[in-house]
Amino acid sequence: MVHLLNVFGLSVSVKKNGKLLKILDNISFSIDEGEILGLAGESGCGKSMTALSILNLLPKDIEITGGEIFYNEQNLVKLGEKDLLKIRGSEISHVFQDVRQALNPLMKAGAQIAEMLELGAGRNKKNLKKIEIKKQVLELLVSLGFEKPEKIYNAFPHQLSGGMCQRIMTAIAVIKNPRLLIGDEPSSSLDEESQRQCLSLLKDLNHKNKMSLFIISHDLSIIRQFCSRFLIMYAGKIVEEGPSDLLFSPLHPYTQALVNAIPGKDKRGKVLENIPGKVPSIDDQLTGCPFAPRCPRAKAGCLEIFPPALQIGNRKVFCFYPATGETDE
Ligand SMILES: Nc1ncnc2c1ncn2[C@@H]1O[C@H](COP(=O)(O)OP(=O)(O)O)[C@@H](O)[C@H]1O
Ligand code: SF4
Ligand SMILES: [Mg+2]
């Protein structure tokens, strides 16, 4: 399997009161061609910042302060805006968590999707006539579960619900058949049926076009069912990674706490409840394992240095005292 995207030692920081505070600290991971990789963790752990770093879409006061992101033998961290623009949307596209802000309020939904094809054909190679573009957009709207695609095509974002906007954003992201789609909670504001349709379209594109997917979700059951591999993130660090079918038999005490926080024995379709304690703020800038204050397995040494990667079978875990892979299911 060839790596499509390789992230090495990525650090991202925000400038606050003259100091650089780390939001992401030395994270590494890769996404293979045709793979579906999932990323989970509580709110504020750095999932969106990880996704936004890839195409350098970070907010103004936040910057990449270390590491490399290789795609097609190019280090995206070093690319200028002009070169990044050629990749955005055509080769790597991004479904933003905040869809309302990402859509243009003054432009009809259909025109926003069509504009992507009008800007160039992307991986589809041939340039299309206006009428062919509209036909393609309408077909895509149907596959995203819109029963009256013409009406949606002609609607402005404010006339659509949050879930509908999320599907429009997905259409904009996939219409050029990119090699990698980054979806930041791509189905979180959808009802169950629309969520099923949206995820099944993405799975279809992954299967037919070998489109790799990097899916961020707070719903561990989606990660387990939909993705082939998972990453768990805590306080700006990746703490565990492995194949998704082992997600519910975690090794890291944090992953274990997340899994145990999902109510019920059958964890399908359930969203995690709070686990005791809270994610540290970036102002804390802890040394050692950031999960230590919440960890039932913590010992004195855990506070001194961040644990190195431990390879256990096909899993990697960053913990001095990993669990056995059993949960209280
Ligand atoms: N514009 C910003 N300025 C300062 N800190 C920010 C900003 N955006 C996010 N953060 C901080 O970065 C951390 C990671 O945020 P984020 O990646 O959005 O988390 P997640 O997507 O996992 O919920 C959080 O501690 C958050 O408070
Ligand atoms: S390194 Fe120590 S504190 Fe951190 S998760 Fe492992 S046991 Fe808990
Ligand atoms: Mg987020």
Q: What is the pLDDT of residues 98-148, one digit of tens each?
A: 877 889 999 999 999 999 988 765 565 567 788 999 999 999 999 998 999
Lowest mean pLDDT among 235-239, 258-262, 268-272, 294-298: 268-272
For residue 307, the ligand 2 atom closest to its alpha carbon is 1
Nearest-CA residue for ligand 2 atom 1 is 319
Smallest Cα–Cα separation from 150: which of 133, 160, 138, 140?
138
User: Could you tell me if the CB of 49 is within 6 A of ligand 1?
Assistant: yes
Mean pLDDT of 254-265: 83
Q: How far is the CA of 320 from the centre of ligand 2 (A)?
A: 6
Tell how many helices (H) and how many strands (E) occur in the chain.
Answer: 10, 12
User: Could you tell me if the CB of 235 is within 6 A of ligand 2?
Assistant: no
Of 282, 283, 285, 286, the one to substitute when testing ligand 1's pocket (max ligand atoms within 8 A of C-beta) is 282
Residue 264 is predicted with a pLDDT of 61
Residue 17 is predicted with a pLDDT of 87
Of 49, 53, 62, the one to substitute when testing ligand 1's pocket (max ligand atoms within 8 A of C-beta) is 49
Mean pLDDT of 61-76: 96
Mean pLDDT of 54-62: 94
Q: Given a cut of 60, is residue 329 above it in pLDDT?
A: no
Q: How far is the CA of 113 from the centre of ligand 2 (A)?
A: 46
Mean pLDDT of 22-26: 96
Superfamily, domain 3-218 = P-loop containing nucleotide triphosphate hydrolases (3.40.50.300)
Compute the distance between CA of residue 126 and CA of residue 22 in angstroms, rounded to an integer. Answer: 44
> Where would I find the H helices in the chain?
47-54, 81-87, 99-102, 109-118, 130-143, 149-153, 162-174, 192-209, 220-226, 253-260
Residue 13 is predicted with a pLDDT of 97
Nearest-CA residue for ligand 2 atom 3 is 292
Residue 9 is predicted with a pLDDT of 98
User: Could you tell me if the CB of 46 is within 6 A of ligand 1?
Assistant: yes
> pTM to 2 decimals?
0.92
Mean pLDDT of the chain: 90
The answer to whether 198 and 186 are in contact (CB under 8 A) is yes
Q: Given a cut of 80, is residue 173 above it in pLDDT?
A: yes
Q: How far is the CA of 51 from the centre of ligand 3 (A)?
A: 9
**Taking the domains of the chain in order of start, what are their residue ranges?**
3-218, 229-317
Residue 216 is predicted with a pLDDT of 95
Q: Can you say whether residue 214 is alpha, beta or left, with left for phi > 0 and alpha for psi between -120 and 50 degrees?
A: beta
